[in-house]
């Protein structure tokens, strides 16, 4: 479960980080000793290249790339602002993706058990969040609204966690009805108490997307996975283009303070991307470079700022190459989901894709996927959507 060190602005999860790295080491050792192969698909290659490119951006902009690794050894909880930790979180997310994928392919892990475990986590965290919001009033921190945070640092992170896992509760409805109902009830109440507009936009869009997938599966309107996925990918691109156009005209968000704050953060991120279009300012370095790209007269909200937009954050930190790789990965995820649903129409595949899409849309307004406790379930869902895979050797034997 996500836990925080008191007084710090970042998640303090050295134990979870070490566990993932330990599992990755054991997995790598087993691969070498047992010589067990995992079928590699295009998505896997794109994920590996993306992680490699983020490493390049870190090294290029670091005066001493090895220096900040001492923080990992000392287990200092307040290390989340360091660029190396941003890199390590992404690496750990990728590690989880490959660990789960390999475990499912070699039948070491059970897909239904993973889904059930995630739903139980949803019940526990949402239940705690409801009790916490009833017993502790956080109105003074959130402009008069008692916004629930559960075990997370802020309501938006909590909302991201809920919209990512809520669809899985619907997928379990037929098999574990009472667990599913409890998860749905607590999850919806929890989401309501977050007052997270981005999370609600994400879950609504995810639901609409899932509905169109179901309708298309029934009526066979669009047969091309690329066409269908391209339409979805165009939406965030149009929003970004719209932002650039309106930014050139002037600031249209002078009324709503919250949105206005995001507007200046987005603008600063785009300014960074324009100055260093190829490699960006380096993974995890948006915050330390922000002061150089803010509009004149603008003061930051807190000591730590992120772009409140995953795509602008990656574009500013990893350049056009990093952003292109991210869009390639997301396109491949959507294409895979579309193909699986078109062939089987499995309810779990629907819900996995809805949860992923909900977070992708929410990421237009926030950058909660930077956090380890969001990264882990997010990449787990992607692995579940892309599994199980048939081993090439086994497939050849069957053909013979």
Mean of pLDDT values over 58-66: 75
- What are the tokens at 4? 């925080």
pTM for the whole structure:
0.83
Give how far the C-alpha of residue 141 lies from the chain's centroid of Cα atoms, to the nearest Å: 25
pLDDT in tens, 27-52: 666 665 565 667 788 899 999 999 99
SS3 147: coil
pLDDT at 248: 53
pLDDT at residue 6 above 60?
Answer: no
Average pLDDT, integer, range 269-296 = 84
- 165 within a domain of the structure (yes/no): yes
DSSP secondary-structure letter at 85? H
The DSSP code for 11 is: B
Highest mean pLDDT among 155-169, 209-223, 359-373: 155-169
Q: Is the pLDDT of residue 396 over 70?
A: no
Could you tell me the sign of the dihedral formed by the alpha carbons of 198, 158, 16, 124, in that order? negative
The answer to the question of residue 154 being in a domain is yes
Number of domains in the chain: 1
Q: Please determine, for residue 350, whether its predicted confidence score (pLDDT) is greater than 60.
A: yes
295-322 mean pLDDT: 80
320 domain-assigned: no
SS3 380: helix
Sequence-ordered alpha helix ranges (H) in the chain: 14-34, 42-61, 70-74, 83-105, 111-135, 155-171, 177-194, 197-219, 225-249, 257-275, 286-290, 310-343, 347-362, 372-385, 392-399
Structural domain containing residue 129: 119-195
Q: How far apart are the C-alpha atoms of 398 and 219, rounded to whole Å?
A: 33
Q: Which of 21, 168, 198, 191 is nearest to 94 (CA)?
A: 21
Q: Are 238 and 279 in contact (CB under 8 A)?
A: no
Q: Is 156 domain-assigned?
A: yes
How far from the centroid of its chain's Cα atoms is residue 71's Cα? 24
Task: Name the least confident of 2-6, 59-63, 177-181.
Answer: 2-6
Q: Which residue has the higher pLDDT, 239 or 254?
A: 239
């Amino acid at each position: 479960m996500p836990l925080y060190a008191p007084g710090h602005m970042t998640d303090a999860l050295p134990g979870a980080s070490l566990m993932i790295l330990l599992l990755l080491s054991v997995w790598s050792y087993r691969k070498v000793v047992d010589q067990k192969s995992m079928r590699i698909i295009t998505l896997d290659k794109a994920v590996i290249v993306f992680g490699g490119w983020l490493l390049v951006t870190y090294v290029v902009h670091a005066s001493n790339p090895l220096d900040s690794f001492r923080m990992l050894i000392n287990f200092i909880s307040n290390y989340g602002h360091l660029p190396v930790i941003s890199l390590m979180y992404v690496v750990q997310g990728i590690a989880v993706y490959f660990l789960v994928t390999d475990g499912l392919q070699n039948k070491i892990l059970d897909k239904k058990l993973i889904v059930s475990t995630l739903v139980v986590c949803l019940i526990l965290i949402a239940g705690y969040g409801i009790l916490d919001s009833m017993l502790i009033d956080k109105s003074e921190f959130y402009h008069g609204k008692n916004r629930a945070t559960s075990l997370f640092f802020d309501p938006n992170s909590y909302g991201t966690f809920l919209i990512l896992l809520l669809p899985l509760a619907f997928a379990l409805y037929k098999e574990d009805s009472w667990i599913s109902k409890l998860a749905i009830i607590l999850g919806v109440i929890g989401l309501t108490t977050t007052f997270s507009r981005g999370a609600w936009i994400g879950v609504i869009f995810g639901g609409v997307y899932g509905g169109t997938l179901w309708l298309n599966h029934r009526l066979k309107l669009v047969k091309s996975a690329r066409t269908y996925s391209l339409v979805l990918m165009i939406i965030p691109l149009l929003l970004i283009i719209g932002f650039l156009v309106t930014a050139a005209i002037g600031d249209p968000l002078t009324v709503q303070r919250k949105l206005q704050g995001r507007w200046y953060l987005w603008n600063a991120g785009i300014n960074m991307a324009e100055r260093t279009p190829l490699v960006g300012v380096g993974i995890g370095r948006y915050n330390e470079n922000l002061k150089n790209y803010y509009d004149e007269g603008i003061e930051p909200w807190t000591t730590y700022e992120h772009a409140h937009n995953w795509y602008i954050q990656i574009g500013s930190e990893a350049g056009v190459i990093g952003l292109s790789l991210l869009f390639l990965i997301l396109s491949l995820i959507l294409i895979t989901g579309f193909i699986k649903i078109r062939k089987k129409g499995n309810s779990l595949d629907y819900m996995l894709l809805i949860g992923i899409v909900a977070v992708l849309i929410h990421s237009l307004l926030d950058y909660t996927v930077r956090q380890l406790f969001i990264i882990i379930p997010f990449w787990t869902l992607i692995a579940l959507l892309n599994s199980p895979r048939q081993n090439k050797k086994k497939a050849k034997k069957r053909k013979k």
